[in-house]
A and B are shown apart, each in its own frame.
Chain A
């Protein structure tokens, strides 16, 4: 009774917060400050500074992570009983899980999948798991080799279905032979796709496989349906915040202050332009000049540009102009958008001051 009351309260709280936030955004004048108002340091410097940020609370974090060690035996117990372990909470859990795996899971082989990377070849990972499991089965008993005729065929040439069938083979003895698959950031960019999750779920439900995974995203549970949660992954949740920095996990995330900042893009644009032919540079200059002199317009109409370029003998035909423009577009120097009167027009996605800076740089 009290529980449902609490829940209602929470829901109310949530919706109230939401509307408060909306109101705050609507009523109060929206801040017009630009990111470019901050004097942002050079990207290289920023990256260097990121690398040696002074850690805070090192002692407390260490003892927090150490305190989880008392849970290791419980985790092993649950893993053995057929549950998958799912670690969540703020902070990188990579070191924690790997420490758990290498101290408490000595009797299992452990294969680690780094889900925080940009892409993962699951098939290759499964082949590696199969190899490890095969070794383990061979070690356990000589007679078992007879019951796995597929072992003769190299795993790399087997289909995913037959690999899964191999993982789901009968256990000779109860909990005799298992490979523990550790998946860091199972909700990471590489594994977010539905097909990856289906495959991981099928993998997790195999008799020779145990799974330990971590999630970082607040909405990670939306990746799974009832079947996956209840019968395949069979998660046992653990809230283990570590507050350890997401060092490896964040490696592929752009730094917000380095990304999309004007000096930066003007600089890259200059590098690209300098590598182009003088004619192409001149075409770009015309476009830039037009944009600077007509700051309120949405862009330069295509035929307008063509006329000017022809007049200045920069291009001889529309084909040559188009080839220049394709080059610009590929490097994101120029974009098209629909003009209010319906025709396509070209513009350079840079602020005026950045554009001026760029023009001065390529004129040098």
Chain B
């Protein structure tokens, strides 16, 4: 059993606050991904859990015990580093068994555990090789093997896939997920790549400026972001933000983008949004997949409008179209056969049932 608990954890470097008092409960066997832009404090948080950074304030507990002053080796954790950090003078077997040897584990136990881990990771043939004889992906597997053999309470991954090429990254991502499904160890994984976060995590922790913006399942974060930051960070291409006003006209609530463009607010949102009528600095958030080409039949909350397309980007299975509203570039996803052409007007459809209304002054999704 290994829950990890962070209580009001602060990290200060001289006078710079890297982590500003975060609370987080990680459940046993859970796969948690910390994601955010560089400098958001995600790696610092991970290193504090590992014990590689002292915490300036607050408490970190692993398996119910506060570990603030416990050295890394006694925290029963294993860490996989971005640059693998394999010992270059040892072969794969020695790399994987180093920690167990230091703990004076019996030789036959070491042998059994190393071979078992090697089997899980499919690196049995590489056990005699030195790290320099391995490819990037193989090194990454060995680094994971080194973590697995120790059978720790918690796995910590610090951007483990950033050094791999795109194809290998996708492959190793699946590999990591498979390994977690097999060994079911509590895992904390740091990445700046939101796709990695979404695909791997049971729950994603989005961090920004040393604070946690939102914690939730990948689907929660995608469909119900709590802040503008989360809404813009999760999803690719990113969510469109268009400045707007909320107006009450003829008994109905409408989102007005400009003089020519306005949409009625879906009925189920009316009650939630009425209080914000007339508020300045409102923004409409709409994901690219909710701006499509027109279709023969219209469902509720779908509204057609004409727009001059600036740029067309064919992606194969879909085509991205870019146009400008209120001085901002907006992206839509249309069918490749919809006949989108640059510098030509096109009839598009906005699906408002998935709209988000954001108060830009607070950054909160309303």
* A and B associate in one complex: no
